[in-house]
Structures are given as C-alpha cells and as structure tokens.
C-alpha cells in the first residue's frame, strides 16, 4: 500500500476530535542571579512615566536584600503581601480597587514575587484590572472576556507550577476554584533559583511535594497523553534527584525549579487527582495550605497510588519531616460533609484519577474515612 493511501485510510478512520489549544508562557529567563535583569525586561513594557509597574511581593522579603533590587522607578508601587493565608477573591477585588483608586493611568504591568500565593495574586489582579465585577464571577473555566494587563511571575519557592499554569486558584465565597483562562498565563517568568535560598525546610518539602504529587497524579491519570507524560516524567526524575539523592544545594534549587515548571506543564494537558481533590476540602474548611494539605492526604492514598506513596514515604523519612496528626479527628459529620462537597465538586480530578465511571468507585463514606485518618 502506498504511503498516500495509508494516510487517506487513517483520515477516514480517525474520529474527529477537537484538541485544546493551550497558551504557554511566551518568555522565560532561567539562571542564578537573573532577577537582576528585571529592570531591563520591564523597560519596553513601560507605557509612560505615569503608568506604573505594580509589584506584589511576599512580605517575608520586607527589609531583605531582594527588595533593594526591585527596579521601582517613577510612580511604581511596591505592595508587601502576607502569604499566611492563600489568596481570596475579596483580597483580589480590594487590590484591584486600590490600584484603580490610586492611579489615573492604566498600569504598565503587574509583577508577582513570591510563592504560589503571590503568583496567583499577581495573575488574578492582572486579569481583574481589565475585567468588570468581582473575581468570584470568573472562578471556573474560560469566563474571562478581556485580555489582562502585562504580568510577570517570579517564583521564590518551587513546586506549585503556578508560574506556568493558566489558572489562579482563589478562595471565594462559595468555593475554592481557579480562574482558568488563556489570559491568566504569565507574559514573562523569571526563574532565579537563588531567590529560593532561605525557604524554611518544612515549607520547601511541602511545596516541593506539590510538584511530586502533580507528577504522580498526572502520570497515573486516565487523561494522560504523550504531551503530559513527557513533561511529567522529566519532573518526576528531577523530584527523585532532589528529594532522594544528595545534591549540592545550588544544583538542588535549580532542579526543583525546573521540576516545578515541568510538573506544571504536565498537568496543563491532563489533570491532578485524588490528593488535590481532597486537599481542596481541607483548605476550604480548615485553611490548610496547599502543599501541606496534599501531603496529609497523599500519605493515605496507598490504595490509589501505591508506587507514589512508597516513594513519598522514603522522601519523608530522608528529610525527617513530621506531618501534623489528628487534624480531622474531632470534626463533626456536618464538617466532613462540607469537605466532601468541596472535594466532589472537582469532577475532572476524579475522572482523571478513576476514569469515566468514577462515581461507582468513590463515595462519601470512602472520602470521610480518608479524612478521618488525617
Ligand atoms: P506560598 O506562596 O503560600 O508560601 C508558603 C510560605 O513560604 C509563606 O510563608 C511564604 O512567605 C514563604 N516563602 C516563600 N518564598 C520564600 C523564601 N524565598 N524564603 C522564605 N520564605 C518564603 O507557598 P506555595 O506552596 O508556593 O503556594 C501555595 C499556593 O499556590 C496556594 O494558594 C495554592 O492554591 C496555589 N497553587 C496554585 C497553582 C496554580 O497553578 N495557579 C498550582 C498549585 C498551587
Ligand atoms: Zn498542586
């Protein structure tokens, strides 16, 4: 059979599928010390001296060296923001109002400097500045109508993949859910591994495990395709090196930063899974942070991800991490019901983890049993 004929035949039998068309971060700088280039990178995007750059910076850096290096000129504004609590829709709305009230010119850009919390805030503020109403109205998929302001993400802790993703996860009045849109993705990312020096060890581990869990959930999910797999496998390999080998610290920082990037790319075309679905419930009711919440849940998912949990146990042991215990022991059944609601609303996550027939494989009793162990 000739080649042409084969293609013809393939075309005949291939069912018509509409593939998703994903945005990616169009520009990225990688390297120790690259933060120093921020001023030059922003320059072409400054519209005029009255159109400020707004820097949203994790307040852990207040008074530290990094702040002196922020290239704030003209009427740029540096806002320090506490990351003890994860971003909320009302916080985003208040920030947008503050910026609108203080400047008559439309800002030239928004720069987020920090972990997933600050990166998500920067994305959300950039999106909401150009779109009407409350950010709560845009939680969901592809609800954003207008392009966002130019926005730059500069991670200072590695793992979430928020630097590459097309979502910003917000706690709203009714749910914890992302603003998933093509306009959410950063226009520029600066990956400077030196910025992650000084992250407390437990937090390093928990946020790093977010990446590891992204890999496990993506690679074991029913949505997996070769695109996701190629990124997921690379991220997994890097995570194993970082958390199981004895790397030199600067190399370890570089590798975890790239693991985070690849892990984020891997879930772009697939989904996360059970640990994330349950972790959202913990976060909603108890305010448990994302990385820690994922670890608390993942620890009890050996029935679903046996190989991943075995590796996780080795990592926890190697780094002497103690997970808090008894968090859910005292919760009432009504509380557990709320957490089940939040968790079960994450339908794509369950479908990815357990397949199309996921409803027949999971129910509230099974979920509550896992929560009670936490
Ligand atoms: P984080 O931003 O919440 O920060 C955790 C802690 O680390 C904070 O106390 C912060 O001050 C501190 N910290 C950060 N950098 C530091 C540094 N260099 N030195 C010392 N301390 C530092 O942590 P995270 O785990 O990166 O982010 C969690 C958030 O990310 C959650 O809100 C979660 O919903 C979100 N998230 C978003 C996505 C996405 O795709 N948008 C994906 C996963 C998670
Ligand atoms: Zn995550």
Looking at the predicted structure, is the pLDDT value of residue 5 above 80? no
* Residue range 212-225: mean pLDDT, rounded: 97
Helix (H, G, I), strand (E, B) or coil at 105: coil
Q: Provide the token pair at 149.
A: 């302001």
The Cβ-side half-sphere exposure at 296, using a 13 Å CA radius, reads: 25
Kindly give the distance from the C-alpha atom of residue 7 to the centroid of ligand 2, in angstroms, as a whole number: 40
**Residue 111 pLDDT class (50, 70, 90 cuts):** very high
For the sheet with 77-81, list strands across it.
27-30, 188-191, 151-155, 109-114, 53-58, 77-81
Looking at the predicted structure, is the pLDDT value of residue 249 above 60? yes
* pTM for the predicted model, two decimal places: 0.95
Mapped to the 3 state alphabet, what secondary structure does 107-160 carry?
Answer: CCEEEEEECHHHHHHHHHHHHHHCCCCCHHHHCEECCCCCCCCCEEEEECCCCC
59 CA: nearest ligand 1 atom: 11
**Residue 3 pLDDT class (50, 70, 90 cuts):** very low
* Residue range 33-45: mean pLDDT, rounded: 98
First-to-final CA distance of the chain: 60
Q: Provide the token pair at 123.
A: 């994305």
Residue 176: the pLDDT is 86
Decide whether any atom of ligand 1 lies within 6 Å of the 115 Cβ: yes
Decide whether any atom of ligand 1 lies within 6 Å of the 299 Cβ: no
Residue 269: the pLDDT is 85
**Residue 210 pLDDT class (50, 70, 90 cuts):** very high
**Residue 20 pLDDT class (50, 70, 90 cuts):** confident
**Residue 11 pLDDT class (50, 70, 90 cuts):** low
pLDDT tens by residue, 169-209: 999 988 888 999 999 999 999 999 999 999 999 999 999 99
* Residue range 202-228: mean pLDDT, rounded: 97
Query: Looking at the DSSP assignment, which residues form a beta bridge with residue 167?
Result: 180
Ligand nearest to the CA of 283: 1
Rounded-to-integer distance, Cα 8 and Cα 150, Å: 44
Looking at the predicted structure, is the pLDDT value of residue 1 above 50? no
Kindly give the distance from the C-alpha atom of residue 93 to the centroid of ligand 1, in angstroms, as a whole number: 20
**Structural contact between residues 138 and 127, judged by C-beta atoms closer than 8 angstroms:** yes
* Residue range 320-335: mean pLDDT, rounded: 96
Of all residues in the chain, the percent with pLDDT exceeding 90 is 91
**Residue 229 pLDDT class (50, 70, 90 cuts):** very high
**Structural contact between residues 128 and 91, judged by C-beta atoms closer than 8 angstroms:** no
**Residue 281 pLDDT class (50, 70, 90 cuts):** very high
* Largest CA-CA distance found in the chain, in angstroms, rounded: 72
Decide whether any atom of ligand 1 lies within 6 Å of the 117 Cβ: yes
Residue 12: the pLDDT is 60
**CA 337 from chain center: how many Å?**
26
Decide whether any atom of ligand 1 lies within 6 Å of the 177 Cβ: no
Residue 17: the pLDDT is 82
Kindly give the distance from the C-alpha atom of residue 214 to the centroid of ligand 2, in angstroms, as a whole number: 6
Decide whether any atom of ligand 1 lies within 6 Å of the 203 Cβ: yes
Residue 10: the pLDDT is 56
Which string of b and e fits 340-372 if b means at least 16 CB within 10 Å?
bebbbbbebbbbbbbeeebeeebeeeebbebbe
Kindly give the distance from the C-alpha atom of residue 240 to the centroid of ligand 1, in angstroms, as a whole number: 21
Residue 26: the pLDDT is 98
pLDDT tens by residue, 73-107: 999 999 999 999 999 999 999 999 999 999 999 99
Q: How many CB atoms lie within 10 A of CB 273?
A: 32
Residue whose C-alpha is closest to residue 180's, from 108, 53, 55, 272: 272
């Amino acid at each position: 059979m000739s080649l042409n004929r084969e293609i013809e035949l393939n075309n005949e039998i291939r069912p018509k599928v509409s593939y998703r068309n994903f945005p990616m971060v169009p520009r990225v700088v990688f390297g120790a010390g690259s933060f120093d280039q921020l001023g030059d990178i922003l320059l072409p995007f400054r519209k005029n001296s009255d159109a400020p750059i707004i820097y949203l910076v994790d307040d852990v850096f207040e008074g530290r060296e990094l702040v002196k290096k922020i290239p704030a000129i003209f009427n740029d504004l540096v806002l320090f923001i506490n990351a003890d609590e994860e971003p909320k829709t009302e916080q985003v709305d208040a920030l947008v109002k503050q910026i609108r009230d203080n400047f008559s010119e439309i800002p030239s850009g928004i720069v987020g400097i920090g972990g997933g919390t600050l990166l998500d805030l920067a994305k959300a503020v950039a999106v909401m500045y150009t779109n009407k109403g409350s950010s709560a109205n845009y939680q969901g998929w592809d609800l954003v109508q207008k392009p966002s302001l130019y926005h730059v993400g500069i991670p200072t802790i590695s793992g979430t993949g928020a630097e590459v993703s097309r979502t910003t996860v917000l706690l709203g009045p009714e749910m914890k859910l992302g603003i998933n849109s093509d306009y959410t993705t950063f226009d520029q990312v600066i990956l400077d591994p030196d910025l992650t020096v000084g992250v407390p060890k437990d937090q390093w581990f928990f946020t790093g495990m977010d990446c590891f869990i992204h890999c496990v959930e993506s690679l074991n999910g029913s949505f997996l395709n070769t695109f996701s797999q190629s990124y997921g496998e690379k991220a997994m390999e890097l995570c194993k090196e970082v958390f199981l080998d004895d790397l030199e610290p600067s190399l370890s920082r570089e590798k975890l930063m790239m693991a985070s990037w690849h892990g984020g790319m891997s879930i772009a075309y697939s989904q996360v899974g059970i640990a994330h679905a349950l972790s959202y419930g913990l976060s909603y009711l108890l305010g448990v942070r994302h990385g820690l919440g994922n670890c608390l849940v993942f620890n009890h998912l050996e029935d679903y991800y046996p190989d991943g949990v075995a590796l996780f146990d080795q990592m926890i042991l190697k780094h002497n991490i103690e997970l808090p215990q008894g968090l859910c022991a005292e919760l009432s059944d009504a509380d557990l019901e709320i957490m089940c609601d939040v968790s079960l609303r994450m339908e794509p996550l369950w479908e990815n983890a357990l397949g199309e027939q996921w409803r027949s494989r999971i129910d509230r009793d099974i979920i509550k049993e896992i929560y009670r162990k936490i």
